[in-house]
């Protein structure tokens, strides 16, 4: 299921004509990366790196959503 999710995320990201689709595709594409970063779960540093990556990715997603909200407030549309 994970390779399909990543492939679906990539397809949604590439074919997006709306900022919401772009965001959903980006999030679907990044979900399997969390597992890849923390793959060696028996190694403490690997798990720590996975958690740090997830937190930083969540912060980046929040900034992206904030920017999309600003674009929507200015343009009135999420299409591009």
**What is the tens place of the pLDDT at every residue in 11-28?**
999 999 999 999 999 998
Q: Cα separation of 6 and 28, whole Å?
A: 6
User: Considering its fold, how many domains does the chain have in total?
Assistant: 1
Q: Cα separation of 58 and 64, whole Å?
A: 10
Kindly state whether residue 80 falls inside one of the protein's structural domains: no
What does the pLDDT read at residue 63? 98
3-state class of 18 per DSSP? Answer: strand
- Which domain does 71 fall in, by range? 2-75
Kindly state whether residue 36 falls inside one of the protein's structural domains: yes
Which pTM value belongs to this model?
0.83
* Closest C-alpha to 58, from 69, 48, 50, 70: 50
């Amino acid at each position: 299921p994970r390779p399909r999710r990543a492939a679906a995320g990539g397809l949604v990201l590439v074919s997006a004509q709306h900022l919401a689709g772009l965001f959903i595709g980006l999030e679907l594409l990044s979900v399997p990366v969390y597992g890849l970063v923390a793959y060696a779960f028996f190694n403490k540093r690997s798990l720590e790196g996975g958690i740090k990556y997830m937190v930083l990715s969540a912060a980046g997603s929040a900034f992206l959503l904030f920017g999309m909200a600003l674009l929507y407030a200015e343009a009135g549309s999420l299409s591009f």
